[in-house]
Chain A
Amino acid sequence: SQQGEEDPQALSIQEGENATMNCSYKTSINNLQWYRQNSGRGLVHLILIRSNEREKHSGRLRVTLDTSKKSSSLLITASRAADTASYFCATPTGNQFYFGTGTSLTVIP
């Protein structure tokens, strides 16, 4: 399988703290994408980072990419209860997308 893996599998933090989750993947990539999934819902696209980029920001999100280590990290700053969700990285290869196993984030109010 070409699936990536997120680490940690589960993360619990207090509101206002930062949350960091990591993704490792197996093949060379053109870009890496992060998605959020709220309980009982479909995935929602958060941010895309291209293989020639090292860091990207979007609001409270910061994504880094290290292609030499085949890894990416997602940082959510000043977390809110509404950030409670599962987060997945995805790597498109040709016409196929490969998703990681996800990090379950719980933000405690």
Chain B
Amino acid sequence: NAGVTQTPKFQVLKTGQSMTLQCAQDMNHEYMSWYRQDPGMGLRLIHYSVGAGITDQGEVPNGYNVSRSTTEDFPLRLLSAAPSQTSVYFCATRLATGINQPQHFGDGTRLSIL
């Protein structure tokens, strides 16, 4: 049982390049989300999904796209990377049934944009 798997673990990009951060889960959780973690800022929600085919914006969605075609996968796309997107990105999942559910996190993708 892998839980939440994020790939890659590290990535360096040049400004303007595009890339996709992958998130896969094997817990059959309906809810999946992406956060970015910056020093002194805590975690901020980028996008989330409550099920296949349904996505919505979080607190800081600009510059990022998501899609949810299956329950298991929730990729995050940077279409044109900017230095301000240098951060650590975390994917998290939880059961969607009710608000009193903990989130399960992957180990993150450390992204540097030059």
Contacts and interface: CB of A to CB of B under 8 A. Distances in A.
A42 B102 contact: no
A45 B94 CA distance: 11
Interface string B26-62: 0000010101000011111100101000001011000
Contacts of A88: 42-43
Contacts, number: 64
Interface stretch (A54-62, A68-76, A98-106): A98-106
A101 B105 contact: no
4 smallest beta-carbon distances between A and B, as pairs: A42-B105, A45-B102, A99-B43, A101-B42
B99 A30 contact: yes
Interface of A is mostly: strand
A48 B100 CA distance: 8
A64 interface: no
Contact of A95 (B48, B106, B107): B48
Contacts of A2: 59
26 contacts: A2-B59, A3-B41, A3-B42, A30-B99, A33-B103, A40-B107, A40-B108, A42-B105, A42-B107, A43-B90, A43-B103, A48-B100, A50-B100, A88-B42, A95-B50, A96-B45, A96-B48, A96-B59, A97-B103, A98-B45, A98-B59, A99-B42, A99-B43, A99-B44, A101-B40, A102-B42
